[in-house]
């Protein structure tokens, strides 16, 4: 028993175990009561009637609304992820430059776009583009640009932290055998840093995917817009079922990406190709066993 106990905590005694069991039982009863209350309120409003849920078992609902919305979400997320990664690499490396005239402006750009609320950034771009480029549909451009600037700034910090996580002896040894700074960065630091950065990068992509839902505010045709606005308008009274179905789809997408991030993190910890520790993404905490847990 003592060998299995966590070194940070004492094993609970009989009274502590009894107290924990009682609290667990009370919490379970409270959660069941809350769930029943929600169910009863929805039932009183007729939200469990078959006619309201019927549209979601019809192929036309999925083909005409949900799948196009899902494709719109994945399109915005894919474009923003690629552009944000390029932005993060460029500005992350710029922040490590030996030249102050490169390092200081890069730091200013990263800090500014990290500090601006993403929704405000999307709104600003959405209303600025018609003034600059004339009339047109700029919803996708505004959403992707906002996601790129915000998440790219976060990724820039991840890139910078990943490179700095490589022990200095690695670069010192590379300089000792005659490599220049560019060669040291390309051949020694980046290959090791990528392994440490990958879990944090994928975790940030999970945040980016969730943030695509902000396109709902500017009427971008995404999963949330189709599922939470169009479907209830076509099928009157199906707002709650639509919210539940769309929520389940979002949970599935995010759990898939989170599982990928966890797998990459475990692989990076087992890898012998780098001596750098995995980078914890902003807005995350380190859980048991060193696993990264996103809290955004």
Tens digit of each residue's pLDDT (9 = 90 or more) over 155-170: 999 998 888 877 777 7
Tens digit of each residue's pLDDT (9 = 90 or more) over 194-203: 877 887 888 8
d(CA 47, CA 238): 7
* 263-292 per-residue burial string, b: 16 or more CB within 10 A, e: under 16: ebbeebeeeeebebebbbbbebeeeeeebb
pLDDT at 152: 94
Entry pTM:
0.76
- pLDDT above 50 (res 129): yes
- pLDDT above 60 (res 221): yes
Report the share of the chain in percent with pLDDT over 70: 85
Q: Which long-range contacts (CB under 8 A, 24 or more apart) does 81-87 make?
A: 81/151, 81/205, 81/208, 83/144, 83/148, 83/152, 84/147, 84/148, 84/151, 84/152, 84/155, 84/204, 84/208, 85/152, 85/155, 85/201, 86/152, 87/148, 87/149, 87/152, 87/153, 87/155, 87/156
Give the mean pLDDT of 86-109. 90
Residue 1 pLDDT grade (very low, low, confident, very high; cuts 50, 70, 90): very low
- Structure token pair of residue 176: 């000792």
CATH of domain 64-294: 1.10.3720.10
Beta pairing partners, 294: 284
pLDDT at 5: 46
pLDDT at 25: 94
Give the mean pLDDT of 205-218. 90
In this structure, of 100-114, 154-168, 250-264, 280-294, the range with the lowest mean pLDDT score is 280-294
pLDDT at 288: 44
Work out the number of other CB atoms within 10 angstroms of the CB of residue 167.
14
Q: Where are the domains of the chain?
A: 64-294
Residue 120 pLDDT grade (very low, low, confident, very high; cuts 50, 70, 90): very high
């Amino acid at each position: 028993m003592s060998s299995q106990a966590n070194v940070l905590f004492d094993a609970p005694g009989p009274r502590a175990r009894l107290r924990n069991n009682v609290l667990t039982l009370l919490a379970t009863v409270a959660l069941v009561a809350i769930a029943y209350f929600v169910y009863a309120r929805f039932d009183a409003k007729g939200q469990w009637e078959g006619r309201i849920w019927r549209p979601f078992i019809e192929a036309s609902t999925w083909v005409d609304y949900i799948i196009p919305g899902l494709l719109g979400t994945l399109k915005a997320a894919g474009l923003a992820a690629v552009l944000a990664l390029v932005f993060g690499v460029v500005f992350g490396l710029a922040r490590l430059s030996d030249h102050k005239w490169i390092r200081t402006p890069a730091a200013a750009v990263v800090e500014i776009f990290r500090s601006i609320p993403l929704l405000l950034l999307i709104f600003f771009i959405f209303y600025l583009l018609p003034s600059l480029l004339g009339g047109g549909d700029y919803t996708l451009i505004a959403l992707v640009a906002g996601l790129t600037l915000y998440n790219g700034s976060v990724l820039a910090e991840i890139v910078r932290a990943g490179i700095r996580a490589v022990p200095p002896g690695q670069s010192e040894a590379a300089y000792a055998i005659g490599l220049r700074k560019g060669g040291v960065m390309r051949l020694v630091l980046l290959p090791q840093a990528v392994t440490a950065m990958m879990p944090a990068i994928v975790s940030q992509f999970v945040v980016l995917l969730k943030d695509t839902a902000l396109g709902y505010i500017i009427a971008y045709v995404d999963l949330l817009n189709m599922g939470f606005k169009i479907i209830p308008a076509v099928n009157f009274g199906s707002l709650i079922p639509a919210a539940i179905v769309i929520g389940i789809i979002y949970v599935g997408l995010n759990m898939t990406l989170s599982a990928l991030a966890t797998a990459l993190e475990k692989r990076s910890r087992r890898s012998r190709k780098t001596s750098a520790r995995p980078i914890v993404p902003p807005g995350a905490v380190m859980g048991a066993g060193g696993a990264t847990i996103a809290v955004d």
